[in-house]
Structure 1
């Protein structure tokens, strides 16, 4: 019995050794350094491109370079609210650098130069696709104290390539400078006065509808503006097209 028992033990040991050797040949137990690394490929972001066509509909108001901002939730300006410093600078001088760097901007773009009466220009804006995507526009009416035009918020989230939208725009008062129309305070070619001034001397200090130019021919003797600078709404037209 002892010899048989020893034989069984020896056979069992040989069987286990054979099984372990077979397991050692299994590819799944190769050292980690011999395995191919797993490469994770990040998807390329989807980029939307919009072409904006901007037309000046006035007879005597040059418009500053159109400023375009893409955002998701918080618009750069809203009717009835206080103008930001960036919008104040546009409305009083046409300078748009501060406005275009708005903290909520996903992307921004500017026309190359001012748009004269009856003229049209285009702006191209590229921005990564978002579930919520809006565009905002602003440009100064040059022969005024602080008038500007534009659109606060246009939802373009669902635009497909080739989709277009056309809107006309009204004249707004930034509420940052009194509408004195004096030669010292109107920066446009009709007066060549001061542009941006950090002092806010308008008693309202809110974005409202602009009351229009009075002019020196209509009783405001100190005005540097004449009938040629008067305007009616709408003052501009904006066409938005998704081109990519």
Structure 2
């Protein structure tokens, strides 16, 4: 998503509206637009292409001298408000060098974790399920997500995860 600046969340604090949009619906345009206005950002991008479990996606980013960190955020599909994040990690410094980051799953705290398809977008739930918001029992703060618990429509045996939830490899080409 954006590189060159710290993401807009802190464990224990409320998620920004822009981050909640990513966590709840996978909509990153508002967070990318916000990031691109910040002085420490060289590039901010948003995409809505889902990445199925076990699959890989590749893309190219650009940086400028002095912009030497990477931040990534993405929705975890089939959840109420989970997201993965890598926050302000250093980019490789020498040509043809690479680094691998392990992204953890976080809960935005903006929705209750009811695991009910009436409140969850994603392929595990019917397209007409509604994706309603359940904010009454929302935690109200960002924390490391504790996974699925078979509390409604989604089976933990099928949809649960353990951290880390993604590996991100960055290779410097120039």
Offset of 1:111 from its aligned partner? 4.9
For residues 41-86 of structure 1, the C-alpha deviation after alignment (integer angstroms, 9 at most, x for no partner) is xxxxxxxxxxxxxxxxxxxxxxxxxxx20124x4333333321111
- 8 Å CA contact 2:112, 2:137 repeated in 1: yes
Distance 1:114 1:196, change over 3 A: farther
Partner of 1:19: none
TM-score (norm 1): 0.62
Partner of 1:225: 154
Matched residue count = 167
**Structure 2 unaligned spans of 5+:** none
Q: Which moved more, 1:76-85 or 1:142-151?
A: 76-85
Partner of 1:210: 145
Distance 1:146 1:187, change over 3 A: same
Offset of 1:109 from its aligned partner? 2.4
Partner of 2:112: 178
- Of residues 112, 118, 125, the one that matches 2:61 is 125
**Structure 1 unaligned spans of 5+:** 1-67
Of Structure 1 and Structure 2, the greater helix share is in 1
Offset of 1:194 from its aligned partner? 4.1
In the alignment, structure 1 residue 87 sits paired with structure 2 residue 16: no
Partner of 2:4: 71
Indicate the structure (1 or 2) with the bigger Cα radius of gyration: 1
Partner of 2:79: 144
Offset of 1:169 from its aligned partner? 1.6
Stretches (4+) displaced over 6 A = none
For residues 15-63 of structure 1, the C-alpha deviation after alignment (integer angstroms, 9 at most, x for no partner) is xxxxxxxxxxxxxxxxxxxxxxxxxxxxxxxxxxxxxxxxxxxxxxxxx
CA RMSD of aligned residues (A): 2.1
Supply the distance in 1 between the matched residues of 2:171 and 2:47 (Cα, whole angstroms): 16
Partner of 2:28: 96
- 8 Å CA contact 1:109, 1:124 repeated in 2: no
- 8 Å CA contact 1:111, 1:121 repeated in 2: no
In the alignment, structure 1 residue 167 sits paired with structure 2 residue 167: no
